[in-house]
Amino acid sequence: MTKKILAYIDHFHGKVQPASWECLGVAAAMAGDTGGEAAALVLGEGVKELAESAFQYGADQVFLGDDPILKDFRPEPLADMVKKAAEEYQPDVILFPTTTRARTLAGMASVDLDSGVMVDVIALDWSGDEIVATRPIYAGKLLAKLVCSSTPQIITIRTRAFDKPEPDPARSGTITTLEVGLDSGEVPTSIASIQEKEAGVSLTDASIIVSGGRGVALNPNLEAPVDLDEEAAEIWKAQQGFALVKELADVLGAAVGASRAAVDAGYIEYDHQVGQTGKVVTPDLYVACGISGAIQHLAGMRSSKVIVAINKDPDAPIFNFARFGVVGDMHAILPPLTAELKAYLKS
């Protein structure tokens, strides 16, 4: 059946979240197979250029809402625009990337358009009468197939679950500008300030992740400065350990992950936690250093393509899930490993 698909392009002040293009890639593939059409929805301030680039990634047309009121992430006015675009375009499917902002807008659209949402989907099958979505539940311990009987079907796709389309600079199309017509007095929220993080490689987008666990603080050959109390000494040791993890990550262009034990002990910020109550990641390569492999940690990373475990305990459960295991002290193994890889990647 012909499908008209609207794909939401999530970005931060014009900097696009990579998953948005994956989303548009899915939209274009679905449109191609069903003889339908893919449109992109770009909302923000000064985002005309971003809107133009959507054609390269597969959009047949673009809806653009460009207005100061849409500059920052305020869900209410953005959701109003999603609704407006849906009413104008009448899509069969609205696709969102599963980013924090787009997940919010998908939830709001479901209420506004009174239609179901299938969230964080990792596979989609549109060959039959119904679109069948697959998504992990219980942090990936089970997989569910979902169908949605209402229209438009609202779907959010997991980052890295679908291929990023190759840009085709030859493609072009028409941009339809949506009337914004909101005044800031009607918006219940305002942004007081933004604290931007240092741009590092984000966990969910990373193709390689190097993670540290409680083992980062357990270097048998390291003495903390004597003036530190026990807790400060542990944190100090952990920082030295994480420095080794970061050096390896830098050489690989990888993101830094952590176990919950490392986060809870204050070795690193929560943002880095991988697992059931952290981030679920699927990199091509996951290097676990000083991580035991508790079920809640495994839930967040076991679908990684290749897992490497470095652990001094040969019986650590993580080895059962690793393609390659190194038994030994991570603090001794990481420096030569980083040096080896650096030499290889330079050559």
Partner 1 sequence: MKIIVCVKQVPDTAATMSVDNGVISWGDAPLIINPWDEYAVEAALNLVADQGGDVTALCLGKEGETEAIKHALAMGADSAVMVSDPALKGADNLAVSKVLAAAIDKIGDADLVLFGQQSVDTDTGLLPIQVARNLGWPSLTLVSKFESLDPAGNKIQVLRTMEEGGQVVDSSLPAVVSITKDYGEPRYPSFMGIRKASRAEYPVWSLADLGIEPPSAAVSWPEVREPESKEIVTEIIEGDTPEEKAKNLVQKLIAEKVL
Ligand X SMILES: Cc1cc2nc3c(=O)[nH]c(=O)nc-3n(C[C@H](O)[C@H](O)[C@H](O)COP(=O)(O)OP(=O)(O)OC[C@H]3O[C@@H](n4cnc5c(N)ncnc54)[C@H](O)[C@@H]3O)c2cc1C
Q: Which stretches of the chain bind ligand X, using CB under 6 A?
A: 213-215, 218-219, 259-262, 273-278, 290-292, 294, 296-297, 300, 310-313, 316, 329-331
Q: Rounded to a whole number, what is the largest CA-CA distance in the chain?
A: 72
Tell me if 141 contacts partner 1 by CB under 8 A: yes
Which of 107, 173 has the CB closer to partner 1?
107
Instruction: HSE, CB side, 13 Å, CA atoms: give it for residue 256.
Output: 23
Instruction: Give the residue among 3, 53, 51 at the shortest CA–CA distance from 27.
Output: 3
Residue type, 34: T
Kindly report the length of the chain. 347
**CA separation for the pair 117, 286 (Å, rounded):** 31
For residue 325, the partner it binds in ligand X, partner 1, none, with Cβ less than 5 to 8 A by kind, is partner 1
Residue 259: CB minimum distance to ligand X, A: 3
Binding mask 58-87 for partner 1 (x = CB under 8 A): --------------xxxxx--x--------
Check: CB of residue 109 under 8 Å from CB of residue 79.
yes
34 binds, among partner 1, ligand X, none (CB under 5 to 8 A by kind): none
Tell me the CA distances in angstroms from 116 to 109, 150, 154, one per residue in order.
9, 6, 6
Site string for partner 1, 241-280 (x = CB under 8 A): -----------x-----------x----xxx-x--xxx--
111: enclosing H helix or E strand: helix 100-112
Report the partner that residue 215 touches, choosing among ligand X, partner 1, none (CB closer than 5 to 8 A by kind): ligand X
**Amino acid occupying residue 21:** W
By CB under 8 A, tell whether 184 contacts partner 1: no
Touching partner 1, residues 89-118 (CB under 8 A): 99-101, 103-104, 106-108, 110-112, 114-118
Using CA atoms, how far apart are residues 236 and 223, in angstroms rounded to an integer? 10
Q: DSSP secondary-structure letter at 139?
A: G
Of residues 136 and 241, the one with the C-beta less far from partner 1: 136
Q: Which does 191 bind (CB under 5 to 8 A by kind): partner 1, ligand X, none?
A: partner 1
Residue 211 interacting partner from partner 1, ligand X, none (CB closer than 5 to 8 Å by kind):
none
